[in-house]
A and B are shown apart, each in its own frame.
Chain A
Amino acid sequence: MSYRVDGFENAISFDDGVSLLMNGTSNTTTPRLLDAITPEDDEQAVVITTNTGAETIVNELERRGAVREQIGIIDCTNTDSEIEGVPVRNLKSPGDLTGISLEFAKLFHDKHSDDPIRARIGFASVSTALMYTELRTIFRFLHVFTARIRSGNMFGVFSLDPTMHDEKAHNTIRAVFDCEAKVNESEVKVTGTGFQQQGVL
Chain B
Amino acid sequence: MADRDDQPTVLVVEDEHALVELYVRWLENDYTVLTAGGGEEALEQFDERIDVVLLDRLMPGMSGDEVLEKLRKQVSNCKVAMVTAVEPDFDVISMGFDDYLTKPVEREELLETIQRLLSRTQFDDIEQELYALSSKQAALRSSKPIEELEENEEFRELQRRIEELRTRLNATLPDMDDDEFVAMVRDIEGDTDGTDTDVSGGSK
Chain A residues closer than 8 Å to B197, beta-carbon distance: none
Size class of A's contact patch? Answer: 20 to 34
Chain A residues closer than 8 Å to B189, beta-carbon distance: 97-98, 137
* Least distance between B149 CB and chain A CB atoms (Å): 11
**Complex-state Cα separation, A171 to B149, whole angstroms:** 14
26 contacts between A and B (CB under 8 A): A97-B185, A97-B188, A97-B189, A102-B91, A104-B178, A105-B178, A105-B179, A105-B181, A105-B182, A133-B192, A134-B192, A136-B131, A137-B189, A139-B134, A144-B184, A147-B170, A147-B181, A148-B181, A150-B174, A151-B177, A167-B138, A167-B142, A171-B137, A172-B131, A172-B135, A172-B138
Contact, CB under 8 Å: B134 / A172: yes
Interface on B for A, CB 8 Å cutoff?
A: 90-91, 94, 123, 127, 130-131, 134-135, 137-139, 141-142, 162, 169-170, 173-179, 181-182, 184-186, 188-189, 192
Q: Interface on chain B toward A: helix, strand, loop, or mixed SS? A: helix
Among B90, B134, B185, which residue has its beta carbon within 8 angstroms of that of A106? Answer: B90
A78 at the A/B interface (Cβ < 8 Å)? no
Among A136, A143, A172, which residue has its beta carbon within 8 angstroms of that of B169? Answer: A143
Among A98, A100, A151, A175, which residue has its beta carbon within 8 angstroms of that of B138? Answer: A175
Contact, CB under 8 Å: B192 / A175: no
* Least distance between B125 CB and chain A CB atoms (Å): 12
Interface on A for B, CB 8 Å cutoff?
A: 97-98, 100-102, 104-106, 108-109, 133-134, 136-137, 139-141, 143-145, 147-148, 150-151, 166-172, 174-175
Known interface pairs A136-B131, A140-B188; A175-B137 also in contact (CB < 8 Å): yes
Contact, CB under 8 Å: B185 / A144: yes
Contact, CB under 8 Å: B181 / A144: yes
**Complex-state Cα separation, A145 to B179, whole angstroms:** 12
- A102-B94, A141-B188 given. 14 additional CB < 8 A pairs? A101-B182, A101-B186, A105-B90, A109-B90, A137-B189, A137-B192, A144-B184, A148-B181, A151-B176, A166-B142, A167-B142, A168-B139, A175-B134, A175-B137
